[in-house]
Amino acid sequence: MSQPKGLSLSQQWLLIAVVTMVPVLVVVAYASWSLYQQLQLQRELVSRSDSLRVQHSQLNEEARDLERFARQYRLLRDDTFLEPYMEKYQSLLLDVGELRDFLRRERNAQGGPVAEAQHNELAATLTGLSASLAGLEPAVLESSDEQGFADALQELSQARAHLGSAVSAYGDALRTRGEKALQDILQRLFLMGVISLPLTLTLMALGFLQMIRPIRRLSWAIRNLGHGDWNTPIAVTGPRDFQALGERLEWMRDQLRDADQQKQAFLRHVSHELKTPLSAIVEAGSLLKDEVPGPINTKQESVVRILLENSRNLQELIQQLLNYNTTTHSVGLRRQSVSVSELCARLTARLDQQNWRHRVIWECAGRPDTLKADPQLLEMILTNLLSNAYHYSPHDGRVSVSWGMEDSEAWICVEDEGPGIDAADQEKIFQPFVQGHVRRHGSVHGSGVGLAIVKESVARLGGEVKVESRPDKGSRFLLRFPMSPSSDKENVA
């Protein structure tokens, strides 16, 4: 036995699981990377917002101190307030310069400013703040123009208020950018999830089909073996485990085929060896019965009659065994039109000739007259059903044979007025060599394979047979089979 190639069942399951998880892993990896990038962006935006807020807070504090020192100096004309005023003025100029540098870095940053309107507004506010500072130069502070000084302080206060609004708007724009980036990531992740879920399910379905295909092949192979199809080779692909199981089934098929061939050969040889001397015995008995060798007395005639009856019993048994072997091992069907009325007439005439002491009334009728079926199978079916009805019916009993068609299905019904079949026996009578408790008329006993031949033959035609019977009420056998060859169970198998 060769070593199977390929993956084992566990390895193939692992591969399918890995392939199935690829879309999910891609989505998870992308989500992790996107959230990491979003986290970095959020940190950057928070840092920039904090930097802007700190610079604005420092500039605003410096501007308030500048205003306070300016008012104190103008009120007291004390030079001690002039030096801190000069320091605050220079510091305020530096703060405005740092804020301008911040805006320049923002514009040069990747992606440009957060929002063009907020950026331009903040730049314009800084320009206005610088202009208001120009009106509070030390030289202006020492002038006697009170109205100009008050206007300059008013402009500085308004510029500080405008700067606060612009910084707040810029901070809001930074937060909006972060929220929008997060929403974009969530939308992309949702879209990827919607795409990956059907893709994952599709991969799972494909993997399941890939795994179930060799199981179906094994199931069909086992089914064919169970139906006696030992000539079709078994080849199973897929995991190594299934390949090995398929090779074992192939080995078993070879063994069953060889055993079946030996059984058929044995049955043929034994039947041939039995039929030759049996024919000689029957011929010799017939010669004795016809008194060809010479006259025989009454006792000798009784012995000859027993000899001939048992010889015929043995002949019928051998023929039934041959018919059963032919039915169970035949290959293919030969469907053609069969005249059921002519077939019934021929079979009933043959039965009437067997025993002139036992007479039954035959009623055969049906439409259409011809049915499409295998002639040999149909003849074996009716031979066994009519033979049972004949031998189990009482003298002058009535046996009815009817047939017909419903849609594309043919049916044949055989009814008798015999002793019936016990309910316990109705499930067993279709098994080979099984007979019911009721014995048929005459000295020739049945072989127990007649109804088994009927069941096998009907199954070969793709149909089924049912029995309805009650004790002392007779029996009714109804068989149905399709007229179309494409619906035969044999072809399905």
Instruction: List, for residues 116-159, the tens digit of each pLDDT value.
Output: 777 777 778 878 777 777 777 766 666 666 777 777 778 778 87
Do 467 and 426 contact (CB within 8 A), yes or no?
yes
Closest among 400, 383, 394 to 447, alpha carbons compared:
383
Give the pLDDT score at 489.
41
Give the pLDDT score at 142.
67
**CA–CA separation, 89 and 82 (whole Å):** 10
Q: Is 359 helix (H, G, I), strand (E, B) or coil?
A: coil
Which helix (H) or strand (E) is 375 found in, with range? Answer: helix 375-392
The whole-number average pLDDT for the span 28-48 is 81
Give the pLDDT score at 487.
43
Q: For the chain, give me the number of helices (H) and strands (E)?
A: 11, 7
Q: Where are the alpha helices (DSSP H) in 227-295?
A: 240-289
**CA–CA separation, 364 and 352 (whole Å):** 15
Give the pLDDT score at 491.
39
Residue 154, token pair as written in the block: 């008013």
Indicate the pLDDT class of residue 448, thresholds 50, 70 and 90: low
- Other C-beta atoms within 10 Å of 114: how many? 22
**In this model, does residue 460 exceed pLDDT 50?**
yes
Q: pLDDT tens digits for 392-417? A: 888 888 999 999 998 889 999 999 98
Ramachandran area for residue 474 (φ above 0: left; ψ -120 to 50: alpha; else beta): left
**In this model, does residue 378 exceed pLDDT 60?**
yes
Give the pLDDT score at 443.
46
243 or 139, which is more confident? 243
Give the pLDDT score at 113.
53
Q: What pairing do the DSSP bridges indicate for beta strands 475-482 and 409-415?
A: antiparallel
DSSP-assigned letters across all residues of 410-451: EEEEEE--SS---TTTTTTTTSTT---SSPPSSS----S-HH
Tokens 């612009």 belong to 166
The whole-number average pLDDT for the span 456-480 is 88
Give the pLDDT score at 439.
53
Q: What pairing do the DSSP bridges indicate for beta strands 464-469 and 397-406?
A: unpaired
Which of 192-196, 326-330, 443-447 shows the highest mean pLDDT? 192-196
Question: Whole-number mean pLDDT of the chain?
Answer: 78
Residue 444, token pair as written in the block: 């020739």
Give the pLDDT score at 339.
92
In the chain, the percentage of residues whose pLDDT exceeds 90 is 9
Indicate the pLDDT class of residue 422, thresholds 50, 70 and 90: confident
| Total residue count of the chain as it appears in this document | 493
The whole-number average pLDDT for the span 336-348 is 91
Do 415 and 380 contact (CB within 8 A), yes or no?
no
Indicate the pLDDT class of residue 364, thresholds 50, 70 and 90: very high
Give the pLDDT score at 401.
94
Give the pLDDT score at 138.
67
Give the pLDDT score at 98.
82
Q: pLDDT tens digits for 203-219? A: 778 877 777 787 888 88
Q: pLDDT tens digits for 161-186? A: 887 788 788 777 777 877 888 888 88
Alpha carbon 149 to chain centroid distance? 90
DSSP-assigned letters across all residues of 100-118: HHHHHHHHHSTT--S-HHH
Ramachandran area for residue 411 (φ above 0: left; ψ -120 to 50: alpha; else beta): beta
- Other C-beta atoms within 10 Å of 437: how many? 10
Three-class secondary structure assignment of 129-142: HHHHHHCCCHHHHC
Ramachandran area for residue 55 (φ above 0: left; ψ -120 to 50: alpha; else beta): alpha
Give the pLDDT score at 488.
45
The whole-number average pLDDT for the span 342-350 is 90
Give the pLDDT score at 444.
45
**In this model, does residue 255 exceed pLDDT 50?**
yes
Which helix (H) or strand (E) is 299 found in, with range? Answer: helix 298-329
Do 113 and 106 contact (CB within 8 A), yes or no?
yes
Domains of the chain: residue spans and CATH: 9-207 (1.20.120.1730), 231-329 (1.10.287), 332-493 (3.30.565.10)
Q: pLDDT tens digits for 287-340? A: 777 777 778 788 777 888 778 777 776 777 777 667 666 666 665 677 889 999
The amino acid sitting at 273 is E
Give the pLDDT score at 341.
92
CB-based burial, 332-347: b 16+ in 10 Å, e otherwise:
ebebeebebeebbeeb
**In this model, does residue 471 exceed pLDDT 50?**
yes
**CA–CA separation, 326 and 384 (whole Å):** 15
**CA–CA separation, 124 and 486 (whole Å):** 90
Give the pLDDT score at 490.
39
- Other C-beta atoms within 10 Å of 490: how many? 16
Burial class (CB in 10 A: 0-12, 13-18, 19+), 209: exposed
**In this model, does residue 27 exceed pLDDT 60?**
yes
**In this model, does residue 60 exceed pLDDT 70?**
yes
The answer to which of 347-361, 364-378, 470-484 has the lowest mean pLDDT is 347-361
Closest among 316, 305, 340, 489 to 414, alpha carbons compared:
340
Phi first, then psi: give them for residue 436, nearest 5 degrees.
Answer: -75, 180
DSSP state of 365: E
Give the pLDDT score at 486.
47
List % helix, strand, coil for the chain (3-state, nearest 5). Answer: 70, 10, 25
**CA–CA separation, 158 and 151 (whole Å):** 10
The whole-number average pLDDT for the span 186-193 is 82
**In this model, does residue 223 exceed pLDDT 60?**
yes
Alpha carbon 433 to chain centroid distance? 43
**CA–CA separation, 259 and 266 (whole Å):** 10
Tokens 């009814």 belong to 415
